[in-house]
Each structure stands twice: as structure tokens, then as C-alpha cells.
Structure 1
Amino acid sequence: MWSNIALRTVLRSSLGVLRESAGTSGTCCSALLSRNKVNSVLGVFSPPAPVRHYARATKKKVAGLESQLSDLPPTMLKMDYAAVPLAETTDDIVKRLLSLELASQSEKLALKKEQLIAKVQRDESDRSSVEVQVAILTARIRNFQEHLLKHHKDKANKRRMLMAMDRRKKLLKNLRLERYDAFEKVCEQLGITYTFPPEYYRRATRRWLAKKAFCIKVFKEVQKQKAEQKLKLAAKMETASQ
């Protein structure tokens, strides 16, 4: 009973406050009542939702590298069915199943490897020469680069890509020293830009710089002592000759 009486008094007081504010504020109170939701039990008003009068800047899409598989037509047959003459005489549905239109990424990559190998191999049976190894590594490196543009936090594939790049550098370096004409052909056919490695490279740490400065100081002091000894020896020779 006492709870019902207290609830009625709270509702009456809240309605009285609303009437007084309606008489003074007018349009502001009507907008406030339209926005706020009145709790029928307690008579408490919920705060209005915040309005943000600004627009977020749209993120610009980063233009990535063109895929190396973009030049493969979707009507081309897969590598396993390219030499089968019956695949050309089948109906359209079977051709779609056997073509690159419904092929996986690994199947397309295998076909791209064969195309690159055909450009640089010495003969038709060549599968293990340096040129063929460089072509296979080039296809893998470009595939890793395309993958890392979409998934830049994939550290495992980034490590595999760097290992493949180091392996290709060693092969190209040896090929350049042994057969320079084949080296130029491989770089031209595969579109590789070869940069010469530095003769000596070492990371310049603070300890290494201090050690280098100390060694230079010791070397200069030793050269100074040798010059003084030469002058003394020359003076002794002059006195001995007189």
C-alpha cells in the first residue's frame, strides 16, 4: 500500500515538472519529449543519443601489383588435360570443368611455372638447370608478393619469400660469373632486374663504430712511431757516413 502511494507521488511530481517546462520552453520541450523515452514505472528520462555532425574519411585502396596470372585466359585447359585430344571435342560444361575458369590457385601457378620454364630452358628435357631453377623461384616469389599485399601480417610466407629471393640471388650470381650470355637471357625473358651486391656490408652498431675508431687511432699512432724511427735511423746513417 505504501509503495503504491509513493509511486503515485513520484509520477505526479514528474508530470508537474513537465507541465512547467512546457509552459516556459515550448518547442524545446516538445523536441525533448519526442527524443526521450519515458519510463512508465519510475518516470526517469533516458539521455538522447549523441549526434555527430561529421563524416569519416574513406580509406583509399592501395593499388597493388598486377597479378602474374592475369595473362592466363580462362578458356585455357589445365596442364593435365592440355595434351588430351578428347578434351577439345567435349561439350561446354565439361570444357568449363577442365579449363582455368574453375581451376584453383595452385593449378594456375603450376601452369605459369611451365610457361616461364619454357622461356629459359636449354632443351625440352631440361628440368634441373640453373635457368629452370631461377624460373621456378621467380614464379614463387611473385606469388608470395601478391599474397603479402593482401595479408601483410603473414610472417611465415614472408620468411619463405625472403629465402626464395636469397636462393635466386645466389643462382644468378653464379650464372653471371660462368655463363654471362645465359644470365642476360634469363633476366630479359623473366623480367628480372639484377642489382649488384655490395662488396662488403656490415651493420654499423655502436660497439663496432667505437672499435673501428679505436683501431684507426692505434694505426695512426703506430705509423707515427715508425716515422720517428725512420728519422732516427736516417740521422744515425748520416752521422756514421761522416
Structure 2
Amino acid sequence: CSSVLQTARGYAKPVRRKRKDIPSHLDDLPPTMLKKDYANVPIVASVDDVVKRLLSLEMASQREKVKVKTQQLVEKVRRSPNDSGSFEVQVAILTARIRTLEEHLQRHPKDKSNRRQMLMAVDRRRKLLSYLRRVRYSTFENTCKQLDIQYSPPLAYRRRVTKRWAVKKAFCIKVFQEKQKLLAPERLKQRREWRAR
């Protein structure tokens, strides 16, 4: 009887899955670095080691680490110290958010809400980058290089040609040509009047 119970207990044990060690984009942050809110406070230099440890990234939450990482990315691409809303800065903020959501989705692949947020952020970043590419190409190249982004331009739109679409287009062209023939004598008359003046 005891061997049956042991077998049943073996089936009843929860399955412990090994957590994959997914590399994070926050791994390069040093743990002794101060949190974003306390980085510029002058009193921190004279504080005890225990307090410094509490205010450092070693004891920080994921959100606070993402804030620091976002600030680092923004510092790489900003134009001036007061720049907080240029296209480059917006791309840097979106890049930090996208990388955080990518890591989350690797651990939780069925999280549809965050997948949707990530896809929306990727789309927004692509629009900002395509604008930068059109307007200021050197800035676009520098931003992609600094943030380690590989930009691929969107594919040219191609409509699938169906029989119905082809017939409709041919009909529209025919109507346009007939209209031009009807307006031709009137246009000729207007040209002669302009030349006469």
C-alpha cells in the first residue's frame, strides 16, 4: 500500500520548470549606481554605506532600473541638456520600453496585452525613424548606431490584381478618356482666347 501512496504522491507533485536565463538589457547597469531620483542629490555622498546600498540599484525594483536605463539611452542621443522631446529622445524612450516588453514576453509568451503594447511601440518607433530618415539622415544614422537599432524600410505597397479590379480600372480609364474628348473643344477655345489677349 505504501508504494501506491508514494507513486500517487509523485504524480501529485507540482512540476517545477527550470526558468530560462534570458539575458536582460539591464544587466550592464552597475549595482552600485544610484537610483534616478537620488543621483543628483548632494547629501548622498556623506551618507552611511547601508543607506547608499538602499538607494542603489542593488535594492531597486525593475521599474527603477528601467528608468535609469531609459535615462542612459536618452543621454546618448539628446541634442542638448534641456532636450526632452525631440524625435531622437522619443525613439530612445520607445527603445527602452520595447526591450523591456520583449524580455517580459520571452518569459510570458501568452501575455496578449503586453504583446499588443509592444507592437504599438514598435510601430510608433518605426514612424519616428522613417521621418528622421527623410528629414535628417545623419541624425537618423547616429540614432540607430547609438541605440543599436537595425532599421528596415517598409515594403512598397502592391495591390493584388484581381479580375474585378482590372475590369474596374479599365472602365475608369475609358470614362476618363471619353470625358477628355468632350472637354477638348472647350479647352482649345480657351487657349485661343488666351493667345489673343
> Is the structural similarity TM-score above 0.5?
yes
Residues 144-223 of structure 1: pairs in structure 2 closer than 5 A: 144-200=101-157, 212-216=162-166
Measured after TM superposition, the shift of residue 85 of structure 1 is 2.4
- Structure 2: how far apart are the matches of 1:36 and 1:157? 48
Residues 72-151 of structure 1: pairs in structure 2 closer than 5 A: 72-151=29-108
Measured after TM superposition, the shift of residue 89 of structure 1 is 2.1
Specify the SS of the correspondent of 1:146: helix
If you compute each CA radius of gyration, which structure gives the higher value, 1 or 2? 1
Measured after TM superposition, the shift of residue 88 of structure 1 is 2.1
- Structure 1: how far apart are the matches of 2:50 and 2:103? 31
More helix by proportion, 1 or 2?
A: 2
Measured after TM superposition, the shift of residue 217 of structure 1 is 7.6
TM-score by structure 2 length? 0.73
> Structure 2: which 5+ residue stretches go unaligned?
9-16, 171-197
Q: Measured at CA, do residues 200 and 80 of structure 1 come closer, stay the same or move farther in structure 2, by a change above 3 Å?
A: same
**What is the count of residue pairs matched by the alignment?**
161
TM-score by structure 1 length? 0.60
Measured after TM superposition, the shift of residue 126 of structure 1 is 0.2
Identity across the alignment (%): 52
- Structure 2: how far apart are the matches of 1:167 and 1:199? 19
Worse overlay, 188-197 or 89-98: 89-98
- Structure 2: how far apart are the matches of 1:167 and 1:97? 36
Specify the SS of the correspondent of 1:200: coil
What code does the residue aligned with 2:66 have? L
Measured after TM superposition, the shift of residue 157 of structure 1 is 0.6
- Structure 2: how far apart are the matches of 1:154 and 1:87? 40
Measured after TM superposition, the shift of residue 127 of structure 1 is 0.3
What code does the residue aligned with 2:118 have? M
What code does the residue aligned with 2:29 have? L
Aligned-residue RMSD, C-alpha: 2.9
- Structure 2: how far apart are the matches of 1:135 and 1:161? 14
Q: Measured at CA, do residues 99 and 217 of structure 1 come closer, stay the same or move farther in structure 2, by a change above 3 Å?
A: same
Specify the SS of the correspondent of 2:36: coil
What code does the residue aligned with 2:80 have? D
Measured after TM superposition, the shift of residue 61 of structure 1 is 6.9
Measured after TM superposition, the shift of residue 131 of structure 1 is 0.4
Measured after TM superposition, the shift of residue 73 of structure 1 is 0.8
> Does 1 or 2 have the higher relative contact order (CA < 8 Å, sep 6+)?
2
- How big is each residue's C-alpha offset from its partner over 1:162-211, in whole Å with a ceiling of 9 and x where there is no partner? 00000000000000000000000000000000001011056xxxxx66xx
> Structure 1: which 5+ residue stretches go unaligned?
1-34, 38-45, 51-58, 203-207, 221-242
- Structure 2: how far apart are the matches of 1:219 and 1:192? 41
